């Protein structure tokens, strides 16, 4: 694998939280390895890695349909092998007695080494025939274990985006990045689910904040400003907290998973239990390691950051880990396996917008060896913002 040098630095963060200021270099320089560069007919976004290191990737069909939706990367040849087979990746609007992938934004491997594949479907298809679904596989063998379909209460206006699974309570948590946002909580024993926190302060993006690329407002292909609700998420190692955030603002949130599983709580009651963690970089996906560090990307400034919440603190500490746009452009998805952090670079700023610049390189999965669980030697540079209303 090709080794790339990373710059480890601390970051100063402005009160507006729109961009990280120049960082002070530090002595340590971890390494970043290229796991796979993808061809132009597979614009990768999702990444999942088994406990033994088997790497999976997905290419959602939100902009166009690619050669496959989900692949396993052959460890020896680097070939993209359609997963679980070619049939699932051969899309049809009316498949007969078979399942197909419609649009897959997220992959995740749980502590039982099961691969979870989230298919959000698309508003352009008949969702009575092709509803959103969550599919469970054995991450080593590829054996299909279970398929969970969503009903019409998850509407075409919604878009399920990311997933985490707590095997101790057999519960799946899923973000909804469109419509009224919020989180889906699914009981995997029964398949029953609820959409919670929709249209609440933590469920939707702050309308006064917007995504910037190249120092200017990002605009969708039709010229409008992108608005993305709850998008990235991470489940704490002890499974007691779910961290989550809308994409197109800088706010970070967490909520106790016990509260999410409590079906007796109303959305108004849940909203009061959501803890505001302040502002930091605008990140898409996120992941948490065994040290309780949140790993996030700065999609506005092309960086990689580690966020921490020291005991007793109310806001996240922000530390810049990597800053080289020539290497890492849009850190979109994350996975952790064998003490490696896997990072998917989707290059969406060069693909998805009216004011995108020409594509400079392929979508790529990198990996970085996680640093030891030591206190971050940097001050809390995140501003202590008031809780959004």
Question: Residues for the chain: how many in total?
Answer: 389
123 φψ region: left (φ > 0), alpha (ψ -120 to 50), beta (else): alpha
Q: Looking at the predicted structure, is the pLDDT value of residue 10 above 70? A: no
Q: What's the burial of 37, exposed, middle or buried (CB within 10 Å: 0-12/13-18/19+)? A: middle
CA gap 336, 347 in Å, rounded: 21
Longest dimension (CA), the chain: 59
Q: 243-276 as b/e, with b when 16 or more CB fall inside 10 Å?
A: bbbbbbbbbbbbbbbeebeeeeeebeebbeebbb
Specify the higher pLDDT residue, 76 or 15. Answer: 76
3-state SS, residue 259: helix
Strand-by-strand arrangement of the 80-82 sheet: 46-49, 55-58, 70-73, 80-82
pLDDT at residue 387, rounded to an integer? 65
Task: Quickly list DSSP for 17-67.
Answer: -SSBPPPEE-S---EEEEEEEPPTT----EEEE-TT--EEEE---SS---S
Pairing, β 70-73 against β 31-37: unpaired
At the fourth CATH level, the homologous superfamily of domain 3-369 is TolB, C-terminal domain (2.120.10.30)
Domain extents in the chain: 3-369
Q: What is the pLDDT of residues 290-319, one digit of tens each?
A: 999 999 999 999 889 999 999 889 999 999
Cα 62 to Cα 103, 306, 308: the distances in Å are 7, 29, 33
Give pLDDT, residue 359: 86
Measured between its terminal Cα atoms, the distance across the chain in Å is 47
| pLDDT average, residue stretch 93-108 | 96
Mean pLDDT of 337-361: 92
Comparing 310 with 26, the larger pLDDT belongs to: 310
Tell me how far the alpha carbon of residue 340 is from its chain's centroid.
17
pLDDT in tens, 33-83: 999 999 999 999 999 999 999 999 999 999 999 999 999 999 999 999 999
Enter the DSSP assignment of 68. Answer: -
Q: What per-residue confidence (pLDDT) applies to 375?
A: 54
Q: In whole angstroms, how large is the CA radius of gyration of the chain?
A: 19
pLDDT at 379 over 60: no
Q: Is the pLDDT of residue 354 over 80?
A: yes
pLDDT-based confidence at residue 357 (cuts at 50, 70, 90):
confident
pTM to 2 decimal places: 0.90
Element spanning 253, H or E: strand 251-256
Assign 358 a pLDDT band (cuts: 50, 70, 90): confident
């Amino acid at each position: 694998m090709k080794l790339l040098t990373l710059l480890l630095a601390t970051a100063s963060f402005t009160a507006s939280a729109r961009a990280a200021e120049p960082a002070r270099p530090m002595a340590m320089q971890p390494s970043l390895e290229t796991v796979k560069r993808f061809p132009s007919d597979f614009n990768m976004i999702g990444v999942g890695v088994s406990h033994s290191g088997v790497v999976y990737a997905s290419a959602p069909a939100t902009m166009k349909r690619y050669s496959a939706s989900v692949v396993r990367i052959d460890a020896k040849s680097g070939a993209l092998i359609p997963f679980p087979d070619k049939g699932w990746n051969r899309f049809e609007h009316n498949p007969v007695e078979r399942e197909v992938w419609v649009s897959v934004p997220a992959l995740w491997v749980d502590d039982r080494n099961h691969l979870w594949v989230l298919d959000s479907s698309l508003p352009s298809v008949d969702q009575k025939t092709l509803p959103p679904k969550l599919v469970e596989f054995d991450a080593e063998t590829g054996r299909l274990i279970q398929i969970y379909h969503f009903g019409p209460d998850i509407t075409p206006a919604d878009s399920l985006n990311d997933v985490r699974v707590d095997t101790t309570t057999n519960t799946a948590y899923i973000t909804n990045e469109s419509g009224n946002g919020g989180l889906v909580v699914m009981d995997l024993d029964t398949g029953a689910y609820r959409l919670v926190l929709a249209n609440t302060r933590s469920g939707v993006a702050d309308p006064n904040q917007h995504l910037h690329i190249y120092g200017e407002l990002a605009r969708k292909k039709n010229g409008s400003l992108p608005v993305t609700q709850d998008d990235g998420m991470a489940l704490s190692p002890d499974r007691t907290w779910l961290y989550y955030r809308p994409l197109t603002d800088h706010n970070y949130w967490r909520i106790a998973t016990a509260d999410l599983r409590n079906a007796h709580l109303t959305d108004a009651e849940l909203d009061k239990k959501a803890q505001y963690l302040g502002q930091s970089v605008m990140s898409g996906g996120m992941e948490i390691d065994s040290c309780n560090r949140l790993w996030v990307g700065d999609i506005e400034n092309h960086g990689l950051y580690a966020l921490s919440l020291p005991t007793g603190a109310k806001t996240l500490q922000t530390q810049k880990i990597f800053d080289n746009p020539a290497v890492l452009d849009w850190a979109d998805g994350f996975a952790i396996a064998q003490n490696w952090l896997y990072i998917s670079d989707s290059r969406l700023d060069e693909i998805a917008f009216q004011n995108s610049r020409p594509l400079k390189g392929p979508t790529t999965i990198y990996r970085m060896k996680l640093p030891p669980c030591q206190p971050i030697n940097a001050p809390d540079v995140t501003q202590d913002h008031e809780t959004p209303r």
